[in-house]
Amino acid sequence: MPWLGLIVTAGLPRFLGAFFFANQDRDAYAYVNEIAELRASMAAGTFSLKDLSGFWLPMYQTVCAAGSLLVNNPLYVAKVVSAICGTATCLLVFLICRHVTDRRDLAYAAFALIAFNPLHIMYSSFSMTEAPYIFLVAGSLLFTIEDRSMLAAIFALLAGLMRVEAWMLIILIPALRVLAGRKVKPASCIVPALAPLICFYIYWAATGDPFDYFHSRAVFIRGFLVDRPELKGFSGRRIISDAGRLLYSVNPLVFIASVAGASLTVKDLRAKGRSGGMQTSFAVGAACVFFFSFLGFLLAAYFTNNQPEIWTRYGLLFFVLGIPILIWASAALPARLPRWRRWIAAVTIGGCLAQWGIQLHYGILYVSAVGP
């Protein structure tokens, strides 16, 4: 399928959704309000760094506000930015899977899993950071795999200006280069590190406190826990509920495949220098490192009550990062376990179709209830 076909296939449902799906979350309208205020200051010529400080890091709102100068409709500009990034993410998954599997047919399968995923289509239609942030993280992974350190660093920088958890890439990208036996270039360390420095400067310029972002969020979380005291403890019911929402969007098979990929990668590292060669490629290992690093960050925030709830949309990043690993595992495991070839294929296909069907069902219910 030519690139134009991939773009149209992924882009059509996301752009239609941008214009016909209502925003699901109150956060989406909060983003739109911030974008409208930024646009107003830009149009009036009063824009300054102080305007960039807020409850969220400024990257997404700034891009959308600049776009709104040309088309004075912050709501739909923000939705179109998400649709563009969601479409581009599908192409990145295709490219990552080609590196992971070295097979074009399997890359098409990976593309189909993300391109037709109902949850990703929905969040690529909303005025929120989910689609743009996932695009930037996936781009950083792709360029890390391709040994294009400057591009990987730039994507990491932009992601770090959108969400704090992306600051992990300051360490992850150089660490992966070391594991791959590649030379660590200064850009791969310096450029991503600019994200926290820029953010600290913005909040210092606005409030006099470079850590105001963290202090404001701490106050918000304390107030949230006062209103929801049941979230202060970790009951079995609470953990099961949050884990269920996460697995709903991640897909249990993606998680299992990622554990398998990570296990084999660790085994390869321990056996490095011995006979037998590598069972996993650097691309698989890099995808696993991204997957479990971001998952570890989320779980650490959750169990320290810095993230009182795990919402469904949080799993989309892990779904995107884990698709190439799942496709790799579905091809690699049958080669090692030929007697289980048909069972592995059946479980993989059945599990992916089940997730698609369940998410489509709830997506239709949502669109019917909320309306355009």
Using the predicted structure, report yes or no on whether residue 250 has a pLDDT greater than 70: yes
Per-residue model confidence as pLDDT tens digits over 223-237: 888 888 888 888 888
Q: What is the DSSP string of 287-353?
A: HHHHHHHHHHHHHHHHHTTSS----GGGHHHHHHHHHHHHHHHHHHHHHH-GGGHHHHHHHHHHHHH
Using the predicted structure, report yes or no on whether residue 80 has a pLDDT greater than 90: yes
* Residue 97, CB-side half-sphere exposure with 13 Å CA sphere: 30
d(CA 289, CA 268): 14
279: Cβ contacts below 8 Å, ≥ 6 apart: 264, 267, 268, 332
Using the predicted structure, report yes or no on whether residue 327 has a pLDDT greater than 50: yes
Q: In this structure, what DSSP letter does residue 146 have? A: T
**What percent of the chain clears pLDDT 90, i.e. is strictly above it?**
63
The answer to whether 64 and 165 are in contact (CB under 8 A) is no
Using the predicted structure, report yes or no on whether residue 336 has a pLDDT greater than 70: no
Confidence of residue 330 (pLDDT cuts 50, 70, 90): confident
Coil, helix or strand at residue 133? helix
Per-residue model confidence as pLDDT tens digits over 270-311: 665 444 444 468 889 999 999 999 999 999 999 998 888 899
The pLDDT score that the predictor gives to residue 359 is 80
* Residue 226, CB-side half-sphere exposure with 13 Å CA sphere: 6
Confidence of residue 49 (pLDDT cuts 50, 70, 90): confident
Per-residue model confidence as pLDDT tens digits over 84-105: 999 999 999 999 999 999 889 9
**Which stretch of 15-29, 108-122, 164-178, 241-255 has the lowest confidence by average pLDDT?**
15-29
**Which stretch of 148-162, 190-204, 351-365 has the lowest confidence by average pLDDT?**
351-365
Confidence of residue 353 (pLDDT cuts 50, 70, 90): confident
Using the predicted structure, report yes or no on whether residue 329 has a pLDDT greater than 90: no
The average pLDDT across 338-360 equals: 78
Q: pTM for the complete prediction?
A: 0.93
Go through the chain and tell me how many residues it has: 372
Closest listed residue to residue 313, CA positions, set 146, 50, 119, 97: 119
Q: 285 burial class (0-12, 13-18, 19+ CB within 10 angstroms)?
A: buried
The average pLDDT across 6-21 equals: 94
- And the tokens for 77? 């500009």
Confidence of residue 191 (pLDDT cuts 50, 70, 90): very high
d(CA 322, CA 254): 6
Confidence of residue 366 (pLDDT cuts 50, 70, 90): low
Helix (H) or strand (E) holding 106: helix 104-115
Q: 213 burial class (0-12, 13-18, 19+ CB within 10 angstroms)?
A: buried
Residue labelled with tokens 């925030």:
301
The pLDDT score that the predictor gives to residue 232 is 82
The pLDDT score that the predictor gives to residue 300 is 95
* Residue 82, CB-side half-sphere exposure with 13 Å CA sphere: 31
**Which stretch of 159-173, 327-341, 350-364 has the lowest confidence by average pLDDT?**
327-341
Per-residue model confidence as pLDDT tens digits over 29-41: 899 999 999 999 9
In this structure, the number of other CB atoms found within 10 A of the CB of residue 6 comes to: 17
263: Cβ contacts below 8 Å, ≥ 6 apart: none
343: Cβ contacts below 8 Å, ≥ 6 apart: none
The answer to whether 127 and 23 are in contact (CB under 8 A) is yes
d(CA 87, CA 13): 9
- Locate all alpha helices (DSSP H) within 116-211, ordered by sequence: 118-123, 130-145, 149-160, 169-179, 186-207
d(CA 27, CA 23): 9
In this structure, the number of other CB atoms found within 10 A of the CB of residue 3 comes to: 9
The pLDDT score that the predictor gives to residue 282 is 86
